[in-house]
Amino acid sequence: TGPHPGIHDLSLATTHYRLDHDTLARHLGVDPAKFHDGLGQDSMSVPAIDEDIVTMAATAAAPILARHGTDRIRTILFATETGADQSKAAGLYLHGLLDLPTTCRVVELKQACYSATAALQFATALISREPRQQVLVLASDIAAYELGSAAEPTQGAAAVAMLISADPAILRLEPHSGLYSGDVSDFWRPNYRTEAVVDGATSISAYQDAVQAAWSDYQRHNNRELSEFAAFCYHQPFTKMAHKAHRHLLDSTDADAGLEAAINASTPCNRAIGNSYTASSYIALACLLDHRDDLAGQPVAIVSYGSGSVAEFLSGIVQPGYRRHLRTTANVQAITRRTPITYERYRTLHQARFPTDGADHDLPQESAAPYRLAGISGHKRIYQSRK
Ligand code: CAA
């Protein structure tokens, strides 16, 4: 019957620091309930000075490689909005740090928060052609907005690493997903900016409309109702957005409002991490699998949205025995071990910029992660492994 590619292993990593929304609310003079209840966020991950998308992705991927080896990996797809270089793929730094085989292709994918889903689809296509190979998919981002902007409380940072194989232990991806693309300027980041520009109200309606259109397309290819999914893993720029989008979808299909519970187990991790752009839907998936009762044999939906805008409604079947392969303790620890910081420290980190004149610039050691950005020299990023 051929290969049934899907997620064989899944691991997450986040930052050394966290800023609590109570601290941010106090500084901004805002009612903390706006953040906790209105946006559904409790804290946000803040990178240390020596952390970036590469160090987070390498930290997420290392335990996967330790468990499965690297021999069968022939493709590395690195999905990110936070590209560190206009030319060199972030996956190549990771390739060096993790000592991955030279016999593989490495490429970076960009489309706001959506591109990890494209990476999954490209991986399944490659594996369908050559089922012995495995594909390492990384999704790693730092969501940064201007200080004092409405979007500031929706910042965050995290990475997910996924090993895609023909015989997945966790989630078999189904072949026909629902797609939508349209040219919308709801959130974007010109090359000269480190912080995204966003039209908040437009972004919320663009997300809802794109998801609804992707679901309509899904129904054209699959004979399944919303009520048949055991759970939904939405992209979560802030966790309330998953509820808004899900309610919008339920209203548009006259589905039972009781289905709202089907997203609850997917939100607690992103509630603590904040937006992680490309990683967000897959952190939702890890959170769901780690914390819900047995889902073996059941269909779950992944609802991916990237401003600009692209949405994909994809589905997978949770595999028998999947619980043995989860990384629940490590995932929980990645979130709970972050060090809380003051508003002043957060502000300093937010405003830190590296020199752009090619001068040597060493970075102090802050992060306790196994990989760190040691500095910049001659315009090159220098990474270090502690292993
Ligand atoms: N107690 C409880 N709730 C409160 C409250 C209080 N004291 N004060 C306000 N609220 C509620 C509001 O009623 C509102 O809830 P509803 O939306 O359910 O009505 C919620 O808190 C937010 O309040 P505002 O709408 O006044 O918030 P805001 O205008 O200050 O900013 C935002 C909200 C536009 C989402 C802003 O955070 C933002 O621009 N974020 C970035 C953009 C974004 O994340 N867009 C999401 C879709 S795009 C996408 O998904 C891609 C991506 O990753 C960026």
What's the confidence (pLDDT) of residue 253? 82
Active site residues: 81, 113, 235
The verdict on residue 151 lying in a domain is yes
Overall number of domains in the chain: 1
The verdict on residue 159 lying in a domain is yes
* Closest ligand 1 atom, residue 199 Cα: 39
- 19 band by pLDDT with thresholds 50, 70 and 90: very high
Q: Is 129 exposed, middle or buried (0-12, 13-18, 19+ CB in 10 A)?
A: exposed
* Closest ligand 1 atom, residue 33 Cα: 1
- Mean pLDDT of the region 349-360: 94
Residue 258 has pLDDT above 90, yes or no: no
What's the confidence (pLDDT) of residue 257? 63
Q: Which of 76, 159, 170, 152 is nearest to 119 (CA)?
A: 76
* Closest ligand 1 atom, residue 236 Cα: 50
CA nearest ligand 1 atom 6, residue: 34
What's the confidence (pLDDT) of residue 251? 86
Taking the centre of ligand 1 as the mean of its atom positions, its distance from the CA of residue 297, in whole angstroms, is 36
| Cα distance between residue 29 and residue 25, in whole Å | 6
| Cα distance between residue 88 and residue 96, in whole Å | 13
Taking the centre of ligand 1 as the mean of its atom positions, its distance from the CA of residue 184, in whole angstroms, is 19
The verdict on residue 115 lying in a domain is yes
Close Cβ partners of 209 (under 8 Å, ≥ 6 residues apart): none
The verdict on residue 39 lying in a domain is yes
Close Cβ partners of 344 (under 8 Å, ≥ 6 residues apart): none
In the block, tokens 């979130």 appear at 335
209: domain CATH number is 3.40.47.10
Distances (CA, A) of 169 to 7, 69, 78, 109, 201: 7, 15, 22, 25, 40
The verdict on residue 128 lying in a domain is yes
| Cα distance between residue 125 and residue 131, in whole Å | 10
| Cα distance between residue 361 and residue 338, in whole Å | 26
The verdict on residue 1 lying in a domain is no
Residue 155 has pLDDT above 90, yes or no: yes
Site to probe by mutation for ligand 1, drawn from 203, 211, 273 as the one with most ligand atoms within 8 Å of Cβ, is 203
| Cα distance between residue 37 and residue 198, in whole Å | 22
Residue 55 has pLDDT above 90, yes or no: yes
DSSP string, 320-353: TTGGGG--HHHHHHHHHTPEE--HHHHHHHHH--
| Cα distance between residue 27 and residue 22, in whole Å | 9
- 255 band by pLDDT with thresholds 50, 70 and 90: confident
Average pLDDT, the chain: 96
**β-bridge pairing 6-14 and 156-165:** antiparallel
* ipTM field: 0.98
CA nearest ligand 1 atom 12, residue: 38
Question: Is the distance from CB of 324 to CB of 4 less than 8 angstroms?
Answer: no
| Cα distance between residue 142 and residue 233, in whole Å | 20
For the chain, report the end-to-end CA distance as a whole number of angstroms. 42
- Mean pLDDT of the region 52-62: 98
Strands (E) located in 105-264: 105-109, 134-143, 156-165, 171-173, 178-181, 187-188, 197-198, 231-234
**Which domain range does residue 306 map to?**
6-385
The verdict on residue 172 lying in a domain is yes
| Pocket of ligand 1, beta carbon within 6 A | 31, 33-34, 37-39, 113, 150-151, 154, 186-187, 198, 200, 203-204, 207, 235, 237-238, 241, 275, 277, 305, 307
- Mean pLDDT of the region 364-370: 96
Altogether, the residues listed in the chain come to a count of 387
Q: How many CB atoms lie within 10 A of CB 147?
A: 13
Beta partners for residue 17, in sequence order: 46, 339
For 105-146, the pLDDT digits (tens) are: 999 999 999 999 999 999 999 999 999 999 999 999 999 999
In the block, tokens 């999914």 appear at 229
What's the confidence (pLDDT) of residue 319? 98
In the chain, what percentage of residues exceed pLDDT 70? 99
Phi–psi pair at 380, nearest 5 degrees: -100, 140
Taking the centre of ligand 1 as the mean of its atom positions, its distance from the CA of residue 203, in whole angstroms, is 11
Close Cβ partners of 326 (under 8 Å, ≥ 6 residues apart): 10, 170, 286, 289, 290
Site to probe by mutation for ligand 1, drawn from 198, 248, 304 as the one with most ligand atoms within 8 Å of Cβ, is 198
Taking the centre of ligand 1 as the mean of its atom positions, its distance from the CA of residue 154, in whole angstroms, is 9
Torsion of the alpha carbons at 95, 98, 103 and 106, rounded to the nearest 10 = -20
